[in-house]
Amino acid sequence: MRSNIKQLHEQIKAGNFLALARGITIVENELDGYESLLLNLHENRHARVIGVTGPPGAGKSTLVNALLRHWLHENKKIAVLAVDPSSPFNYGALLGDRIRMSEFYTNPGIFIRSLATRGALGGLNAKIIEITDLVKDAPFDLVIVETVGVGQSEVEIAGLADCTVVALVPEAGDEVQTLKAGIMEIANIFVVNKADHEDAEGLFRNLRILAHEKAHGTTEIPVVKTIATQDNGVGELADEIMKFLNAQKEMPEKRLHLLTEKCWQLIQAQRMKSIDHDKLRKEMAIAIKQDDFNLYAFTKDFLTTIK
Amino acid sequence: MRSNIKQLHEQIKAGNFLALARGITIVENELDGYESLLLNLHENRHARVIGVTGPPGAGKSTLVNALLRHWLHENKKIAVLAVDPSSPFNYGALLGDRIRMSEFYTNPGIFIRSLATRGALGGLNAKIIEITDLVKDAPFDLVIVETVGVGQSEVEIAGLADCTVVALVPEAGDEVQTLKAGIMEIANIFVVNKADHEDAEGLFRNLRILAHEKAHGTTEIPVVKTIATQDNGVGELADEIMKFLNAQKEMPEKRLHLLTEKCWQLIQAQRMKSIDHDKLRKEMAIAIKQDDFNLYAFTKDFLTTIK
């Protein structure tokens, strides 16, 4: 490890936010020292990772803000990584969420970083794995990773987090229960946010029933009602999160699963590095002018030109 | 091309459903002849692809059923590919949707196939690209690809479809508009399904406003109200779809973009083929027992063992 990177790593471990911000930038943009920084991380760390996910409109950012206010009173040191969705289309829409979080931007106990995933090209973003691992090397008590989405993004967050919180809001539609059944696998805690909404009680009841059916005699997934805009129910949510983290036994199978999936994503990102998207597009532009263009023949030919 | 695969391809092009089903199985499972089948497809085809997407609970399957009923009266030949979400957790939940579609399973004008994507490992599933291309080689008028999801799945469907229909249902929450703003980029037509719901008018109005703001003098994205369970509004939706498909000018830039993205996904799938997930997991199980385990060093070492 080069001495300036080694020094940066020491500063990150000592809790220097500027060094951490710089480290993230190095990892995000694969600048000099990127690899040696990652190769020197240790996997066992103090900080626990809390994933907060749920559909757009569930009030995730407001919920994270409320949790930050709560934990600040306990003098916890917290990092927040706000991951924009893989869709390249949502950047603008999400800026609203980010702006609302600004009340904590100057707080010395809280580190906040927004991460944009790089569009639809790479699927799950290996960068988020790398950056979360880097942040875990700093002396935080908690790292909150907030992602939008259903499906892929939720799998993503469940692969990173020691405790995954799924936030939902009351919504119309008799098929709601279908969604919730799918989500049971990754949620460690459910939040019914905007609990003052007229349909909240129905959603709460359905989630409780599903949690009960799923439990099979073991512990049921807690369902917490919140009105995050009023800090309502947030203390209870924080308690459930800490209870889950504390009760979490050594689960070697889960750790193996998570690390295997993380490794898979890292390999995928690495394997696609040699594929030049601009070059692909340029060659495609020429090829599609031919009458007998065939996508599969083109792909095969293109790959023979890559090492 | 081996003669039996050549024969199968001819049968598919002639409209033999059994041959098509077998062809899909060959592509899905990469059986003998898989590659030559794909290498002999032609990219320009009669069938137009309609993507139907939207969040779980939006009534997509009911909507597709209603469209099928409508188009059957016009003697259209239609294929439906129902793509289960990338999440490995939703299989069970979605079976309900599939079962409802069974009224058409024996109809000679309609071909239906459910495709399960293979879990969270590969991101976007290249198989769906390949299978859609194969189906387009059969003499269908329309190919409907139905996917669940927001974010990644929507990008996926927009990359396949000549016309993308986004189905939404009225839901609570003041941030709904935020989601809709993100979705504008891929929707060619909006559907407000379950239009008899109390909040439907508000959603309809918001979508109209967004469609208007987005238009900048060009054509606005149509917003259609439906109650698919009662076939209400479905004729209008079908008309808008056909209008869009007919009005669609030659758009070389769009075609280039779609083919480039498809090619990227095919390359990614191909590049990950040599990575044995079971082997990775086994080696990981041994490695994580070491005190100085580092994920990035492990990944680097693992890759050196792969050709």
Highest mean pLDDT, choosing among A41-55, A102-116, B254-268, B269-283: B269-283
- B286 close contact with A: CB closer than 8 A: no
Q: Looking at the structure, do residues A75 and A165 belong to the same domain, yes or no? A: yes
pTM: 0.67
Which residues from chain B sit within 8 angstroms of residue A96, using beta carbons? 178
Check whether residue A187 and residue A220 sit in a common domain: yes
Count structural domains, chain B.
3
SS3 content of chain A, % helix, strand, coil (to 5): 50, 15, 35
What is the per-residue pLDDT across B170-191, written as a single tens digit (0 to 9) for each? Answer: 764 433 444 444 466 678 899 9
Q: What is residue B157's predicted lDDT score, i.e. its pLDDT?
A: 65
Note whether B282 and B246 are same-domain residues: no
pLDDT at A30: 85
Look up the domain containing A293 and give its range: 274-304
pLDDT band with cut points at 50, 70 and 90 for residue A185: low
Cross-chain residue pair B93–A262, CB shorter than 8 Å: no
The reply to whether A227 and A102 lie within a common domain is: yes
Residues A92, A59 share a domain: yes
In sequence order, the 6+-apart residues with CB closer than 8 A to the CB of A261 are A159, B120, B121
**Chain segment B48-74, per-residue pLDDT in tens:** 999 988 776 788 888 999 999 999 999
The answer to whether residues B36 and B64 belong to one domain is no
Least CB–CB distance from B262: residue in A169, A266, A295: A295
ipTM passes above 0.85? no
Same domain, yes or no, for A164 and A199?
A: yes
How distant is the Cα of B30 from the closest Cα of chain A, in angstroms? 14
More confident residue, B29 or B6: B6
Write out chain B residues lying below 8 Å of A277, CB-based. 260, 264
- Average pLDDT on B99-121 reads 66
pLDDT in tens, A217-252: 677 889 999 998 899 999 999 999 999 988 875 566
**Which residue of A lies nearest to B264 if distances are taken between CA atoms?**
A121
CB-based contact B179 A288, cutoff 8 Å = no
* Judgement on whether residues B54 and B10 belong to the same structural domain of the protein: no
Each residue's pLDDT tens digit, A28-61: 888 999 999 999 887 656 789 999 887 767 888 8
Least reliable range by pLDDT among A161-165, B198-202, B221-225? B198-202
Which chain A residues touch B160 with a CB distance below 8 Å? none
The answer on B176 and B115 residing in a single domain is yes
Give yes or no: residues A149 and A239 share one domain.
Answer: yes
Q: What is the mean pLDDT of residues B243-265?
A: 79
CB contact under 8 A, B302 and A171: no
- Taking CA–CA distances from B124, the nearest residue in chain A reads A123
- B189, two tokens: 């037509």
B-chain residues near A56 (CB < 8 A)? 150, 175, 178-179, 182
Residue B90 has pLDDT above 60, yes or no: no
If asked whether residues A260 and A208 sit together in one domain, one would say yes
Distance CA A186, CA A158 (A): 6
- State the average pLDDT for chain B: 79
Residues A54 and A168 in one domain: yes
